[in-house]
Chain A
Amino acid sequence: MNDVLDVALRLIVVFAVFLVLPLVVGQTEHKVMAHMQGRLGPMYAGGFHGWAQLVADGVKFAQKEDIVPAGADRRIFQLAPAVALLPYLLVLVAVPIGPGEGAVGQVIDAGLFFVLAVMGVGVLGSLMAGWASANKFSLLGGLRTAAQLLAYELPMLLAAASVAMAAGTVSLPGIVEAFEWWWLPWQIVGGLVFFTAGLAELQRPPFDMPVADSEIIFGAYTEYTGLRFALFLLAEYAGIVVLCALTTVLFLGGWHGPFGADGLGWVWTLLKTAILAFVVIWLRVSYPRLREDQLQKLAWTTLIPLALAQIALTGIVKVAIQ
């Protein structure tokens, strides 16, 4: 009975984190973008700096009519947001935020494989949405999504493989356990490749060609309204949280920090994740969108060779220090 209670409690905590952190990232994005671009934005809802605007947006989404286009494939159209969102919830279960058994939803033996595999499944949601909408812009968006995923999945896996080689394990807590400060310069290229490829997989700017509003309206999500559209947005923010947390765990040492090793590990994890999330928002505000051919070129001619070079470097150093 105790075990059941333990598992239930862990799942509830992970679910709460899943509901809260993406919204925090969303709110931060509103405010950071407003400051960086010198726009005020909505400042009245709730009083101080318009903090309640996100709540108001949520209420607005919930009130909107849920429309399914007449020509759409009804069931797949309605199922797509769930398929896009759920994988990120599953991934969060495996991400450790502190040392020990208590600070991870569920210790998974092949955690690294688990998170990468499940994250890749989320794209099926976008593909289903793009196809089932019966809209040419949606279909184009879906195609671009698929092309982007196929191109960036490989460098992401290779970069992750490099860190797994360095740690000698594919378990996420095991990788953080094995982390030393000098891994930072050693794995820096892999880290950059991983983060960039992850951004592309989330379709965040500057890799937002699949939802380029000046060309194809909003890509695969063009026909969505109300709550289902909100779910896609939530999936994007949950994706940011997952990507930043994973980069933290794999390349930035997770709960390790210069001080406060006992009991404060989770603060380090959250702090690093938050800084990376800020970088994601910063990139959105400051970088122009890459053209589709530039996107593919970056993946195949820059990121993959860099990731392979990182793997070679990791192997050489690993053999040298043993």
Chain B
Amino acid sequence: MLTAHLAAAAQGPGFLSPTGVEIAFVLVGLATLGAAVITVNTKQLVHAALWLVVALGGIAVEYLLLTAEFIAWVQVLIYLGSVVVLLLFGLMLTKAPIGRSPDADSNNRWVALGVASVAAAALVWVVVDAFRTTWIDLDGPAQGSTKVSGEILFQHWVLPFEALSVLLLAALIGAIVLSRKDDAPTADGAAPAGQAATAATAAPDESKGQR
């Protein structure tokens, strides 16, 4: 069986004569990996968030190199433009000293490394097993254009797509419910105190601007 795969691999383009795109892909991948390692290793909290920008941007470039243009821009829009901004916002709001923050180390370095290795191994195994010797023809018509992505998403993957949107809606409602303090009047007249607490800790989504 292994020999069959090797034979199939030999049919595709060789590994020893990489094209420019493949070299760029590997280099960007290495840079992304480096940025990700620095993200989890740096002693400065905000620097970690900014290195995360580099890592996520590197992944967007990888998508671009694989002609998945639409996915790449969505990556930039969601992760760089929103998630990292939210992260920085949270950091600045709570604790973001300039310089080192020694108390940010949770001393779980080796456990974290183990979990990360297992997760990475599982993902790599799944991807390798799923695609095996498939090669993307980068010179042909773009296979990740908006039209193609949209057609695949809304023809073959409509059900998972809708299920995901319901899941996200549930998470959204859950977040609102959790962050809301219910100030139903209690017997011992705690309502005023409850209201004050509500005003102070209103839902984070809604109170962003009220400071």
Name which residue of chain B comes closest to A147, CB basis. Answer: B208
Q: Which residue of A lies closest to B67 (CB)?
A: A109
- Chain A's nearest CB lies how many Å from the CB of B36? 18
A116 nearest CB neighbor, chain B only: B77
**Which residues of chain B are within 8 angstroms of A73 by Cβ–Cβ distance?**
46, 98-99
- Check if A121 sits within 8 Å of B81, measured CB to CB: yes
Q: In the complex, are the beta carbons of A292 and B82 less than 8 A apart?
A: no
With contact pairs A76-B50, A293-B210 given, residues A146 and B85 touching in the complex (Cβ less than 8 Å): yes
For residue B69, which residues in chain A have a CB less than 8 angstroms away from its CB?
108-110
A-B contact pairs, 10 of them (CB 8 A): A113-B70, A117-B73, A120-B81, A121-B80, A124-B85, A127-B85, A131-B96, A131-B98, A143-B89, A295-B209
A154 nearest CB neighbor, chain B only: B82
A144: chain B residues at CB < 8 Å are: 209
Q: Say yes or no: B80 contacts A151, CB within 8 Å.
A: no
**Contact indicator B53/A124 (Cβ below 8 Å):** yes
A208 contacts the other chain (CB 8 A): no
Please list the residues of chain B having a beta carbon within 8 angstroms of any beta carbon in chain A. 46-47, 50, 53, 69-70, 73-74, 76-77, 80-82, 84-86, 88-89, 92-93, 96, 98-99, 142, 145-146, 206, 208-211
Interface of B is mostly: helix
Q: Does A300 contact B (CB under 8 A)?
A: yes
Is A11 part of the contact surface with B, judged by Cβ < 8 Å?
Answer: no
Residues of A within 8 A of B74 (CB): 113, 117
Contact present for A132 and B98 (CB under 8 Å): yes
Q: Which residues of B contact A113 (CB under 8 A)?
A: 70, 73-74, 77, 146
Instruction: Tell me the minimal C-beta distance from A131 to chain B in angstroms.
Output: 6
**The one of B77, B98, B142, B208 that contacts A120, using a Cβ cutoff of 8 Å:** B77
Residues of B within 8 A of A171 (CB): 146
Instruction: Kindly report which residue of chain B lies nearest to residue A292, judged by CB atoms.
Output: B209
Residues of A within 8 A of B (CB): 71-73, 76, 108-110, 113-114, 116-118, 120-121, 123-124, 127-128, 130-132, 134, 139, 142-144, 146-151, 153, 157, 169-171, 292-293, 295-297, 300
B residues less than 8 Å from A117 (CB atoms): 73-74, 76-77, 80-81
CB of A318 to closest CB in B, whole Å: 15
Main secondary structure of the interface of A (DSSP, over half): helix
> B148's closest neighbor in chain A, by CB?
A109
Smallest CB separation, B87 vs chain A (Å): 10
Least CB distance, A77 to chain B, in whole angstroms: 10
CA distance A134 to B97 in the complex (A): 9
Complex CA distance for A70 and B142, rounded to whole angstroms: 51
Complexed CA–CA distance, A142 and B84 (Å): 14
B84 nearest CB across to chain A (Å): 7
Cα A297 to Cα B89 in complex, Å, equals 19
Q: In the bound complex, do residue B92 and residue A147 qualify as a contact, i.e. CB atoms below 8 Å apart?
A: no
CA distance A73 to B70 in the complex (A): 35
